[in-house]
Structure 1
């Protein structure tokens, strides 16, 4: 995997695999800021090294290793070597994993994984097999391998996560602050206003929120806005309208944060979600002006660069 190769990424969902998102990418300059997912993350690096920064440690994921991240665990990621990393990732919804756990294991409650990075070449290979089957239009194989993979991971590494209940006043304030930000996402209060509304001080709220959610309120809000924008894009909302609805100042503002967190810009994300329902799209690339449409979009550079453009062809970064 040479340093001169372009970055690229494809984030999509197969129409017959609801509840499973797929990302296949190669990143060099791109880095993911601290964020979390509503569902699980199962990733397999096929080249280079990915550094995954967790609340308590940094994982160096190399080929042959398998990364498992539980829902709502804050983390960031960047290249661990100059040549970057290439990987296949599955994002199964919590309901999908819970269904498999109920059918194949004795685990009860919310299931999760105590180990984040394990050496498991067979598991990593199975992740790639799910991708390959899905891209070939073989939903039966993709769904079958996915379920065998998740059952295998639960058997080897799974357990029941302890229930989390607010205990201290600070913890309760953090939960209340999250509810306020989620409800008033498009026009959130300032930290001082939020603290006054909850009857606490700005610094006390800042410390409590970061302790509870692994990131300060403004970072959590950006992540929540991107999540809600994804939901809007999934139902066909135009990116500019989605940006306004969730509180971003304009579409470039959405583009910047969406690309950093999801790994592809909103336009590329929405096109793949819509096109995944077209059987012809899976059988052969569409042609535009006599040339095949690229299957993958080039990935973004670091956020310090200028805006990433949403286009049907591979997107570039203007410096």
Structure 2
């Protein structure tokens, strides 16, 4: 059965503030186009992950890392029938900037140049960070994380290009994004949004996709999931978070959340409530497994 054996744990360790952690094995999992506020450093142990990034499919196999800069649209899926197993750390931009300033010569906002890097040693470092966090070894977790980020920046780092809102299309897209941010729970249709901005729907669609790497409706879903994560972090129930950010109900949040974050919102929040746990918790079933155990109506 598709998805059998999929497992994922998405958590935080209180001694690594600003860093999300993930261990996962996915087979039929598909991540829709989305972004992260933090960096993605995903160390592949087995199998192959394919992710669309920068206009092309990227392949990361055993001993390689998938590296994604903040606010960069990308997808994710298995590249082989057996799926892929990996561990990932998601350090905040300010942490990466501080490490870069202390240990590299990068000037400007630091980031990764290439989305895939073959480096088995760095892969081991990432998994050692996760192991140290699970064991409650703060000194090792913090040290290994800084060593890993430094190594990756020295091997594959450089200044990020700043997104400049200069062209007419970029200015149009920025205005549309601002309106969507203000109307997260009651967004206009594409036609209404375009009319209010004095342009046509297809002109707005092209400008938005060219500027942000995804169409307005996909950006809106991504923004809603980000907002839901903040509410879940603050203790809001998944059902209340769903309605607050504009989803019809919790099943809608469950579906979109798992396709972007990798775990259902309930499992995500439980880990947030147990950040002081020693790490002995078992991996939670992924969305596919939970849906089979607790089916819910689809929209």
Question: Structure 1: how far apart are the matches of 2:263 and 2:15?
Answer: 22
> C-alpha distance in 2, partners of 1:161/1:261?
24
TM-score normalized with structure 1 length: 0.89
Alignment partner, residue 154 of structure 2: 155
Q: What SS does structure 2 have at the residue aligned with 1:275? A: coil
Cα shift readout 1:231-261 (whole Å, capped 9, x = no counterpart): 0000101111111110000111111100111
Q: Secondary structure at the match of 2:231?
A: helix
Query: Structure 1 residue 316 and structure 2 residue 261: aligned?
Result: no
For residue 300 of structure 1, the aligned residue among 269, 287, 295 is 287
Classify 1:166/1:283 alpha carbon distance in 2 versus 1 (closer, same or farther; 3 Å): closer
Identify the residue that residue 109 of structure 2 maps to in structure 1: 110
**Equivalent residue, structure 2, for 1:17:** 16
Task: Give me the whole-angstrom Cα distance separating, in 2, the residues matched to 1:5 and 1:46.
Answer: 19
Q: CA deviation at 1:18?
A: 0.6
How do 1:213-292 and structure 2 match up within 5 A? 213-277=212-276, 281-282=277-278, 284=280
Contact 1:300–1:316 (Cα < 8 Å) also in 2: no
In the other structure, the counterpart of 1:48 is: 47
Contact 2:130/2:141 (<8 A) preserved: yes
Question: CA offset at residue 284 of structure 1?
Answer: 4.9
* Aligned equivalents of 2:134, 2:253: Cα separation in 1: 28
CA contact (8 A) 1:298 1:316 kept: no
**Matches of 2:165 and 2:52 in 1, distance apart?**
26
Contact 2:3 2:27 survives alignment (8 Å): no
Contact 2:29 2:77 in 1 (8 A): yes
Query: Contact 1:49–1:84 (CA<8 Å) still a contact in 2?
Result: yes
Shift of 1:200: 1.1
Return the alpha-carbon distance in structure 2 between the equivalents of residues 154 and 175 of structure 1.
30
Aligned to 1:312: none
Alpha-carbon offset, residue 170 of structure 1: 1.2
Aligned partners of 2:133 and 2:279 also within 8 Å? no
Q: Give the aligned partner of residue 168 of structure 1.
A: 167
Shift, 1:190, TM fit: 0.9
Report the CA distance between 1:155 and its aligned residue.
1.2
Note the alpha carbon deviations across 1:205-231, whole angstroms, 9 max, x for none: 000000111110000000000001000
Aligned partners of 2:33 and 2:294: how far apart in 1? 22
The 8 Å contact of residues 50 and 58 in structure 2, kept in 1 or not, is answered as: yes
How much does 1:5 deviate?
A: 5.5
Q: 2: distance between equivalents of 1:230 and 1:183?
A: 18
> Residues 207 and 284 (structure 1 numbering): CA distance in 2 closer, same or farther, change over 3 Å?
closer
1:67 equivalent in alignment to 2:44: no
> For residues 197 and 128 of structure 1, do their structure 2 counterparts lie closer, same or farther at Cα, with a shift above 3 Å needed?
same
2:140 alignment partner in structure 1? 141
Q: What SS does structure 1 have at the residue aligned with 2:174?
A: helix
SS in 2 for 1:52: strand
Take 2:69 and 2:152, find their aligned partners in 1: how far apart are those partners?
A: 12
Following the alignment from structure 2 to structure 1, what is the Cα–Cα distance between the partners of residues 7 and 157? 32
Classify 1:100/1:239 alpha carbon distance in 2 versus 1 (closer, same or farther; 3 Å): same
Tell me if the contact between 2:53 and 2:115 (Cα under 8 Å) persists in the aligned partners: no
Give distance in 2, aligned partners of 1:182 and 1:272.
Answer: 28
